[in-house]
A and B are shown apart, each in its own frame.
Chain A
Amino acid sequence: MTLLTMAEIVKVFPGVRALDGVDLSVEAGEVHCLLGQNGAGKSTLIKVLAGAHQPDEGVIEIDGEPVSFPNPVSATKRGIATIYQELDLVDGLSVTENIFLGHEKSSGGFVHRREMQAEARKLLEQLGHAEIPVGREVWRLSAAGKQIVSMARALSHDARLIVMDEPSAVLAADEVANLFRVIRGLTGRGVAVLYISHRLEEIREIGDRVTVLKDGRTVATGLPAKTTATVDLVSSMTGRRVEFAFPERPDAGSHDGEPEVLVVDGLTLDGSFSDVSFSVRAGEIVGLAGLVGSGRSEILETVYGARRPTAGQVRFGDKLMRAGSVTASVREGMGLAPEERKSQALLLHDSVARNVSLASLRRFAKFGWMNRTRELAQAQEKTDALELRPSDISRTVSKLSGGNQQKAVLARWLLRGCKLLLLDEPTRGVDVGARAELYAVIRELADSGVAVVLVSSEVPEVLGLADRVLVLREGRVVFEADARELDEHRVLDLVMEAV
């Protein structure tokens, strides 16, 4: 019996069609897997389904009856529960209180504690986790325990379809097996599960059917999860449109004579990545490709000194870097454009000029006294070189577009004069037109002799921009090759199913 049908769903955000005709149909009691690369539209789709976004076009039907979800509550009422990766539990409340959050059993303003606790116990039992104490505060539970509580909350709403966004990402291997037991129990009772994961082996084990998204469209639907060949799945995900041109790349091996600027040896951070070794030569762009959670950002931050490694060394130039000191890294000539531009890089209240000069204050100071004329002149010079628009650097940085904010961050390091630039998702939140400009800027920086390490969720970006690529899977480097010898297909194969 078809529980949910979504047809021709379109969702447009300013400047981008996030969903451009998605079809999806889920049967009662099945595990339906949703597959697609980063940016293919999976998150937008589940937000539409959860009532967090309203589609611009298309039809959603439940039991053959058209429905609309103007808000998350209306979706819950129709039996759709979403379990996001960042679980929306309240840490300070008990398990019972979380399960019944927003729909407490009460009369006259007084909650029926015993009744709710009994009910909570019953729900946890159904999920096979009667051992979770219903009175315990949620922050004391493990990630797996919290997930169970989220599912119990879904069941308390009589959910018929539970959407799970990468539920295994936070779990250890034995906990995943346990999660699958719970999912089988749910489907056995007719509840459908929409399961989102990048891990093919999981999809094979738990899934019934697969729908593949690419560029906001459904490219394949209803594929049998157990029998469809990996090569077919991967090839339907790849070949995304590349709307941006990458700058000319120097020939392979042209950096061989250059000195090694950065040598990372056996770098390990428990729980994130282990035994990562690589080197970057002057003028070279090295890309790190891998899924979210494969340890890419953590590697950059550890190299930069923002995290302290458990083991391993970072050699920069001819110096062995002291572990865990950003100040030392910056002094020696490293720069980082972090993943979260607004929260990690910018002083949002301040002008572009002040943001650009932030890492070079001492240069403009004599005995602490700032020469502001020189500061402004040099900040202007660097932002002009990057063609930051509008060129008025006294503007508040928060008023700039994403691409220009990123340029302000790059200008900061350009002004400082870096030997090594670490770029974490440099084009996130940057619209298509501005991307090509940023790519050109990054390549120009490299050509001027700066060594660059690039992290991006978008495989085509890494392949198009980098000279050399390291492929990461679950915190380990599984492959390293010249970017010209790799294609998207091969990289996806590597990150999804180690060969």
Chain B
Amino acid sequence: MTEQVVVADPPPTRRGFSMRRMKDVQNLGLVAVLVLLAIAGTVTKPDQFLSTDNLILVLTLASIVGVITVGMTFVIIGGGIDLSVGAVVALSTVWATTKATQSYGIGGIIFCALAVGVGCGLVSGLLIAYGKLVAFIATIAMLASARGLAIQLSQGKTQVVNFQNQGLVDLGYKKSYILGIPPLVIIFVIVAILGWIVLNRTTFGRRTFAIGGNPEAARLAGIDVKRHTLSLYVLSGLCCGIASVMLVILTSSGTSANGNLYELDAIAAVIIGGTLLSGGRGSLVGSVLGVLVFTLISVLFTLNNLPTAVQQIAKGAIIVVAVLVQRRASNERTSS
């Protein structure tokens, strides 16, 4: 080498730390929103809001959408989207509560719900990864057909879990609470923790970020982008299956009306949690906080007897504000 280019190391900028702090600030923002909502609840309805029953209700409601949001976070970080989650939940709960399925007992119900979820994810994933369909189109097709199939199977009726399988429904009752915590909440916590570990500490998670951030670079670095894309939709389907079991426990029934607009709740939670809709960047903690924010809003509005219409408007406003704040934060980051 003829020319030695000497570049002095810049003073340690602790860039990595400030990046991490940035993410924390975002999560802190969501925590602040949660606190504000809690204060609002305490002030307006002090007796009901602070009761243990109410807190448990909040968490149980959050758990079902929460599990779906975990799967959705993976799909979106991987550069995709899954619009079919609500419909898949409907189909899973219906299929898991048909007379035929119920005759196989509790194990049969659980297995069926999970298998239907995974199966739907597999179909969407194959269409997207190998059939080269746009994720939006493939999953909207799945949304339509899964919901249709659910109606067909149940003939529009609510299928109640029968007496032999009462043990499953019992999990939703107070007597099954473990240390005062409902099993459904525990399931959500386990799924969220596992999701966090997989996303942040395994090669699977790293590949998810890579294919979402730059699929061509990932492919040329030897990552099997198609197979990984497929597995993301299967994972999302599995989460739908788990959520379906939870919903059957909570409502002791299955119906084709289940899971209505879950896709919106899940995607909105992921977005306000700081995950880029274009993929490649995101946080599971943010998604979980996002779910809690939305659930708390629902509870607040219900407690105060405000109509659901107002509630929807408030959710919409929160999404817009959250994204605007994020954009400002990320602009500051890139211009610094």
Contact = CB atoms under 8 A, between A and B. Distances in A.
Contact of A369 (B10, B202, B219, B221): B202
Interface residues of A, number: 45
Q: Identify the 6 closest CB pairs spanning chains A and B, nearest first.
A: A330-B222, A394-B16, A245-B2, A440-B1, A347-B213, A368-B202
A361 interface: yes
B98 to A, nearest CB: 36
B213 A349 contact: yes
B16 A362 contact: no
A343 B219 contact: no
A370 to B, nearest CB: 6
B145 to A, nearest CB: 30
Interface string B193-217: 0000010011110110110011011
B3 A245 contact: yes
Contacts of A351: 16
A247 interface: yes
A223 interface: no
Given A326-B220, A350-B209, A391-B9, A370 B15 contact: no
Contacts of B221: 330, 345, 358-359, 412
A324 to B, nearest CB: 12
B9 A390 contact: yes
A310 interface: no
A358 B218 CA distance: 8
B220 A354 contact: no
Interface range for B:
20 to 34
Interface string A282-310: 00000000000000000000001010000
Nearest to B198: A368
B200 to A, nearest CB: 9
Contact of B224 (A244, A247, A327, A437): A327
Contact of B214 (A343, A368, A389, A391): A343
Given A358-B218, A359-B222, A389-B9, A369 B213 contact: no
Contact of A348 (B13, B19, B214, B220): B214
B220 A368 contact: no
A41 B257 CA distance: 66
B1 A436 contact: yes
A174 B142 CA distance: 49
A365 B202 contact: yes
Interface string A322-359: 00001101110000101000011111111100100011
Given A350-B209, A359-B222, 6 more contacts: A347-B280, A354-B209, A361-B207, A365-B202, A390-B7, A436-B2
B313 interface: no
A181 interface: no
Nearest to B206: A361
A346 B217 contact: yes
29 contacts: A244-B3, A306-B220, A326-B219, A336-B220, A343-B214, A344-B220, A345-B217, A346-B214, A347-B210, A350-B209, A350-B213, A358-B206, A358-B223, A362-B203, A368-B204, A369-B202, A370-B201, A370-B203, A389-B9, A390-B10, A391-B9, A392-B10, A395-B13, A395-B15, A412-B221, A436-B1, A436-B5, A437-B3, A437-B5
Nearest to A325: B224
A182 B240 CA distance: 62
Contacts of A66: none
Contacts of A437: 1, 3, 5
Nearest to B6: A389
Give the one of B207, B214, B216, B280 with max A CB within 10 A.
B214
Contacts of B206: 354, 358, 361, 370
A252 interface: no
A354 B213 CA distance: 12
Contacts of B218: 347, 358
Contacts of A433: 3, 5
B183 to A, nearest CB: 28
B18 to A, nearest CB: 10
A396 interface: yes
Nearest to A334: B222
A481 interface: no
A486 interface: no
A434 interface: yes
Nearest to A404: B7
A94 B213 CA distance: 35
Given A436-B3, A437-B5, A349 B220 contact: no
B12 interface: yes
